[in-house]
Amino acid sequence: MARLVAWIKKSITPYFNEDIKVEQLLFNLIVFMATIAGTISAISSVFVGAPIEQTIVVSFALVIMYYGLYLANAKKRYNTSSFIITFGVAIFLFPIMFITGGGVNGGMPIWFILGIIFTFAVCNGVVFWVMTILEVVVYTLILLVCYLYPESVSRLKSVKAEYLDIWQSIMIVGIIVGVMFRFQAANYQRILRKNEEQRASMEALKIEVERASNSKSDFLANMSHEIRTPMNAIIGMARIALNSEEELPEDVKQNLQDILGSGNSLLSIINDILDFSKIESGKLEIVPATFNLSTLIHDVIIVIKIKVEEKMLDLKLDIDPTIPDVLFGDEVRIKQILTNILNNAVKFTEHGSITLKANWDRIGDKARIIFSVIDTGQGIKKENLDSMFERFSRLEIRKNRSIEGTGLGLAISSQLADMMGGDIRVESEYGKGSTFIITIKLRIMDETKVYGDGSNYKEARKQSEKRKNIKFPGAKVLVVDDNQMNLRVAKGLLGPYQTELSMVDSGYAAIDACKETDYDLILLDHMMPNFDGRETLEALRKLELFHSPVIALTANAMQGVEQQYLSWGFNGYIAKPIKPEVLEATLEKFLVKYAEDESVNDDLNEDGLEKYKDTEVANIIKSDNVDKAVELVGNSKGDMVMADNIVKDAKLDEAVGLSFLGNSMEMYIEVLEIYMVESAENEEKMAEYIADGKWKNYASV
C-alpha cells in the first residue's frame, strides 16, 4: 500500500509543482478530478442500468481528458489542451451523454454546470468567449430538442437508477466545485503570504537603501568639506588681496579677478560632482537669481581662454549690444552649459576658431537668449547627431581616444536647458565644424544693455562689480572656526566692514565668549572636532539671555543643507568659500541698525592702479624677481628671508603666492606660517583620529 501511495505521489507531483502557472494548476486539478469522477461514473453506470452508449461516451471523454493533460504538461500546449477538452467534452460529449443518460431525469444537467465552470476557470482570450457562447447555444438547443421530442431521450431502466445517477452527479460535481473553491482560497492565502513576505522584504530593502543613501550623502558631505575648505582659502585670499588697501598693478589685479572667475567656475563644477546623485535621479534644482549677463560671459571666457590659447585657436565673441544685461535666472547653471559646450568645441577643434555668439528676442517681460557656439573642428556625422545628448555617449572613440571626457557634459547641459524652459540643438557638417545653439528664456530685470559688443568683457566685468561701501561700526561679531586659515580669511573679509570682530577656535571657547559678551552676530563653523557647530548651538541656546543670531559656516554645499541647518536652529548658513556678496547680505540682514552706506565703485577708481602701470615694480614682478619687487614695495629683508626659507622647503612658487595676495609680504608670511604649523598638527591629529576610530573628528580636520 505504501508503495502504491508513493507511486501515485510521484506520478502526480510533476502536475502540481510551484513552477506551474496558477491557471494551469487549476486546469490539472479539475481534469484529474473529472477523470477520477468519469472513471467512477463509467463503472457505476453499469449498476444503475445506463445504456451501453453512455458508458462508451464516458470512456471516450476519459481518453480526451488524459490526452489534454499530456498535451498541457508534456508538450506545454496549455491553450490547445483547454480548447480540446472544453470543446470535445463539455460541448460535444456532454449533450450526447444527456440524451443517452436520461435527459432531465438523470444527473447530466448538473454536469452542464461543471462544463460552464470549467470554461470560466481555464479558458482565456478568444477561446473563452467562443467556448462560452457555444456552450450556451448548445445546452439551450439540446434542452429545447428534448422538450419538443422527448422520445429522442433514452431513459434509465428505473426511477431508482435515475435518482442514483442524480445523487452521483451532485456528489461528484459538488466535490469538484468545492475543491476548486478550496484551491482558489488556498492560492489566495498563498498570494497574501507571498505579498506580505515581499512587503517585508521591500521594507527591509527600503531601510537598506535609505542607509546606503545616508552613507552616500555623508560621504559626499565629507568630500564637500574636504574640497571646499582649501577652495575657501584660495578664493578668500584672492578676494582679500583685491580688497586690500594696497595699490595693485593693473595686471596683478586683473590676474586676481581671473583667479576669482576661474575659482568660482571650478567651484560650480565641484558642486556638480558632489551633487551627482541628484543628477542620476533627475532632481536637479534650478535656483534663479538676478545676475549680469556681461559678468557671466566674462567668467565663461576666462575659464575657456586658457585652453583656447594652448591650442593656438582664435576665440571670437559676437554679442548683440542690445541684449538686456540684468536678467533673472540660474547664472551658475547657464555658466555650466556654456562652459560644457565651449570645452567640447575646444576639444574637437585643432585649427581655426571658436566663436561665442549671443542674440535675443523679446517675449513679453522675458528675453529669449540665443547662444551659439561655433567651431571649425572635425564636425559630427549625421547618423551620430541623435545620440549627441545621451549620457556617457562618446562619438568615434577610436579616432578621439586621446580626448579626455566622460560623455556626461552634453547630457547634463541638455537637461539643464530643458529645466530652464529652453533647449539645445546642434547643426554640423562633418569635416568642417559644428554649431551648438542654446536657447533659454530669462526674465528682464533692467533694461540696461550689455556693455559694448562683448569684446571688452573685462571692462564689463569691472562695470558689473559696482558695490556698496557699507560699514557696520560698533557691531559685535564672533567667528568660530577650528581652522586658523579660515579664521584668517574671515578676518580679511570682515575687515572692511569695521565691525568689532572676535575670533575663537572651538565651540567651548565660543560658549565662554558668549557668557562675557552679547554678540550681534555669530558665524559658527559646523564641522569642528570634539564639539561641533550643532552641539555648540544647542549649548548656546541654553544660556540665559542668549538671543544672538547664529549663522552656520559650512563646506557642505549638498542639496537641502539650508533646510537642515534651519531645522537645527541656525538663523541661516553661508557656504564656503565665502562669497563677499553673500556675507554682505547676511551682515545687512542682521546688523541693519549699525549700517552706514555710501555707494562707490572701487573697480573704476584707477588712481591707485595708475601708480603701478609700466612701473619698475610691475616689470620686476613680471620678470619673477620677487626679492627686488618685495624690497621696492617696502617689506623688510628679514621677512623676505623668512619667506624664502619656507618656500624653498615647500617648493612653492613665491611669485604666484604673492600675486594671489596682492604682493602683501606680511599676509604671505602669515599664511605660510599658519600652513606650516597646521600641516604638521593636522597630520598628527588625523593619525590619532584614525587610530582611535574617531571618524567624525577626522572628517572635520
CB neighbour list of residue 58: distance below 8 Å, 6 or more residues apart: 38, 41, 42, 45, 97
Residue 672 pLDDT > 70: no
- Asked whether residue 23 carries a pLDDT value surpassing 50, the answer given is yes
Q: Which of 70-84, 259-273, 431-445 has the highest mean pLDDT?
A: 431-445
pLDDT at res. 217? 64
Average of per-residue pLDDT values in the chain? 76
Q: Give the model's confidence band at 531: pLDDT under 50 very low, under 70 low, under 90 confident, else very high.
A: confident
Higher pLDDT, 270 or 71: 71
- Quick: pLDDT tens for 126-156: 888 999 999 999 999 999 988 899 888 888 7
Report which of residues 259 and 143 the model is more confident about: 143
Q: What is the pLDDT of residue 610?
A: 35
Provide the CB-side half-sphere exposure for 84 (13 A, CA): 19
User: Between β-strands 289-292 and 324-329, what pairing exists: parallel, antiparallel or unpaired?
Assistant: antiparallel
| Rounded Cα–Cα distance for residues 275 and 223 (Å) | 11
| Local confidence band at 478 (pLDDT 50, 70, 90 cut-offs) | very high
What are the φ and ψ backbone dihedral angles of 380, each rounded to 5 degrees? -130, 135
pLDDT value for 261: 67
pLDDT reported for residue 378: 85
Please name which of 700, 633, 617 lies closest in space to residue 667, comparing C-alpha atoms. Answer: 633
Report whether pLDDT(238) > 90. no
pLDDT of residue 45: 65
In Å, how far from its chain's centre is CA 217?
12
| pLDDT score recorded for residue 278 | 58
Whether the bond between 580 and the residue before it is cis, its omega within 30 degrees of 0, is no
Structure letter (DSSP) for residue 482 = S
- Summarised one tens digit per residue, pLDDT across range 74-112 is 788 878 888 888 888 888 888 888 888 788 888 889 989
Contact status, residue 147 vs residue 140, Cβ threshold 8 Å = no
Task: Name the band, by pLDDT with cuts 50, 70 and 90, for residue 511.
Answer: very high
More confident of the two residues 279 and 297: 297
Backbone angles phi, psi at 323, to 5 degrees: -65, 135
Mean pLDDT, to the nearest integer, of 243-255? 77
Higher-confidence position of 221 and 541: 541
Burial of 545 (0-12, 13-18, 19+ CB in 10 A): exposed
Q: What are phi and psi of 369, to 5 degrees?
A: -85, 130
Task: Tally the C-alpha atoms within 13 A of residue 266's C-alpha that lie toward its C-beta.
Answer: 16
pLDDT at 608 (0 to 100): 32
> Is the pLDDT higher at 276 or at 252?
252
pLDDT in tens, 400-427: 444 444 456 687 788 889 889 999 999 9
Pick the residue with more confidence: 368 or 682? 368
Is there a contact between 587 and 497 (Cβ–Cβ < 8 Å)? yes
Give percent of the chain above pLDDT 90: 18
Cα 548 to Cα 550: distance, rounded to the nearest angstrom: 6
More confident residue, 9 or 68: 68
Which range is least confidently modeled, 283-287, 331-335, 695-699? 695-699
Q: Evaluate if residue 633 carries a pLDDT over 50.
A: no
- Range 444-462 average pLDDT: 61
Helix (H, G, I), strand (E, B) or coil at 210: helix
Check pLDDT > 80 for residue 220.
no
Best-predicted range by mean pLDDT (439-448, 591-600, 668-677): 439-448
pLDDT at 551: 94
pLDDT at 281 over 50: yes
What is the spatial distance between Cα 435 and Cα 231, in angstroms, rounded to a whole number? 34
Task: Name the pairing type of β-strands 596-600 and 476-480.
Answer: unpaired
**CA gap 559, 607 in Å, rounded:** 44
